[in-house]
Chain A
Amino acid sequence: MGKSRNTKGQMRVIETILASLVIVFALTFVNIFAVTPYSTRYETGDLEKLGHNILHDLDEKRLLTRFVYEQEWENLTAALTVSLPTGVYFNLTVFDLEGNVVNNMQIRYGHPEVFSTSNMTASVQYIVPGYQTNYDPRILRLELVRG
């Protein structure tokens, strides 16, 4: 009569361990993929609304078109700086319809590193169709980050 090990209990234990691991992994997996308020999607959503609000406000006052077409880049920088809340940095680029950059100086507030290192950059596109009676659209791309 040979001795035989009772392996039934061990298998149950292993099954339990595996089942527990599956549950733990499932919960961890869910937590990793949960969209939190600090995720890029939510944060940039608010910044996009804010950016659009500021450009729209300047446009309503007929300042945006004047700044863009008269190339008053310093005024445009100052207007955006005073309009945006503390701790929000911006970088604005003006394109023509062919995609060429029109602004010959930086329209920016904040160190360039802030934009390159931030993983939460909101981008707003705003189109101005023309100035006075001239149809000559410009596309404004406003990038916003929180410092």
Chain B
Amino acid sequence: MIGTVYDYLMATVIVGVIFVAAVVVVPNASQMNLLYVDQQQLRNTALEALKAMLLDTGYPLNWGSQNPFDQNSVQRFGLAYSGTSSFYVLDPEKVQRLAIDSPAGNVDYEVIREKLRLQGYGFRIRVMPLFNVTVDDVSQGDDLLFDISVRLDDGRPIPNAMVTATLLYVETIGNKEKFSFSTLLGKRTDELGKCTIGHHLPDLTGYILVLKVTVADMATITVPYLEGFAQNVAEASIIGDTVTLNIPEGTHPSERTILNMTCVSEDEVWNYPGVGGRNPEDKMNSGEGYQYWIQHLPGLSHDSPLFLIFNIHTQEEDVGKKHMVLFAASPLINIQSGLLQLGSLSGQSSGGAVKLTRSVDIWGMTYIFELLLWKEL
């Protein structure tokens, strides 16, 4: 009798243990696997989205070049350049449509999400140069001096990088202002990824520094801004051969006159002929028909301009006299940060995000294209 009771007690304990294991351990293990599967699904979705963005031209094939641009005319979203069979070559005009502040029109985040069928997912796209170039202005008087630091994305210094600089400047000779530019001697970065570039220029009233940094024949070109007002003087968009400038909202409404334009490509810097002057059509103001300065420059896109530097005659707020300011615009990226970004990290679920990066070619220069994808709450 006691043996039977003992058997039943043992059986009850064993069944209890198995029950607990079945209720707690197995679902936990399954839950982990479900999370993994969920993440894998996220990774697959990100891979498919990245493939669609970078390898597909979208439809119409040249949707980025349409002027005027209507984002609703984009039937399929893709950034690949239609004029080549090579992979990962992006169309700069399509890439520019990602910039939300482009006055020539852009594709909204929601439209891209809908075209890529990413409803329920959040994403962030970033287009970055291969390496970061930072400039510290340590100029004293007429002696311009710039401490340049070249680093990778994670902060590691890049030694032996070739840094060449072109200085575009406005100098005052007598009572007249004169725009000019000169290329400075190249320097190589030291073990800490640093070098110093200097130049002596008397009577300088404004300047922009264009830096070309080359590592193993792979170049990054940046325009570090050293003046605050100049970057509020205008907004620009460069689509194909058409350049559009306008006066940004909330800035000083004084008249702007575009005097000339300088083109910066990967290989050289030159004054673009026949652009600007003191004619009525070169003026921008708040008057009807003058809000935009639009120029069609046949062959501009063929020159692959990375930056256009405008010499603008205008009046700064609280400064009575008009003077020349230099304004830089890029057809590619938000040049102030050397980065184009679409989407933000808000609404990210706790399940984590998947980050994929690829090396892409835009107008002959290599950039890092990064896609971050997550499931929304």
A residues whose Cβ falls under 8 Å from a Cβ of B: 5-6, 9-10, 13-14, 16-17, 20-21, 23-24, 27-28, 31, 34, 36-38, 42, 46, 49-50, 53-54, 56-57, 60-61, 63, 67, 72, 75-76, 78-79, 81-83, 85-87
Contacts and interface: CB of A to CB of B under 8 A. Distances in A.
14 contacts: A14-B11, A24-B22, A37-B36, A37-B37, A50-B357, A53-B358, A54-B359, A57-B88, A61-B218, A63-B216, A78-B158, A79-B217, A85-B368, A86-B153
A82 B11 contact: no
B357 A16 contact: no
Contacts of B21: 24
B3 A86 contact: no
Contact of B15 (A13, A38, A72, A83): A13
A37 B218 contact: no
Contacts of A14: 11
A75 B359 CA distance: 17
Contacts of B86: 60
Given A60-B86, A82-B216, 9 more contacts: A23-B22, A53-B87, A57-B359, A72-B216, A75-B216, A78-B216, A79-B216, A82-B131, A82-B152
Contacts of B87: 53, 56
Given A13-B8, A17-B14, A83 B36 contact: no
B39 interface: yes
B217 A63 contact: yes
Shortest beta-carbon contacts, A-B, top 5: A36-B36, A37-B40, A79-B216, A86-B154, A13-B11
Contacts of B30: 27, 31
B88 A46 contact: no
Interface in B138-169: 152-154, 158, 160
Contacts, number: 115
Contacts of B32: 31
Contacts of B361: 57, 60-61
A5 B3 contact: yes
A38 B42 CA distance: 13
Interface in B216-240: 216-218
A46 B11 CA distance: 50
Contacts of A86: 152-154
Contacts of A54: 359
B218 A83 contact: yes
Most buried by A among B15, B366, B370: B366
Given A81-B152, A83-B218, A42 B26 contact: no
Most buried by B among A5, A6, A38, A85: A85
Nearest to B26: A27
A10 B7 contact: yes
B128 to A, nearest CB: 10
A5 B216 contact: no
Contact of A57 (B14, B15, B154, B366): B366
A21 to B, nearest CB: 7
Interface in B33-59: 33, 36-37, 39-40, 43, 47
A57 B39 CA distance: 29
B201 interface: no
A24 B39 contact: no
A80 B217 CA distance: 12
A33 B21 CA distance: 19
A28 B26 contact: yes
A42 B354 CA distance: 13
Contacts of B26: 24, 27-28, 31
A46 B47 contact: yes
A54 B36 CA distance: 28
A54 B216 CA distance: 14
Contacts of A31: 26, 29-30, 32-33
Nearest to B161: A78
B215 interface: yes
A13 B13 CA distance: 11
Nearest to A36: B36
B297 interface: no
A88 to B, nearest CB: 9
Contacts of A42: 40, 43
Contacts of B366: 57, 61, 83
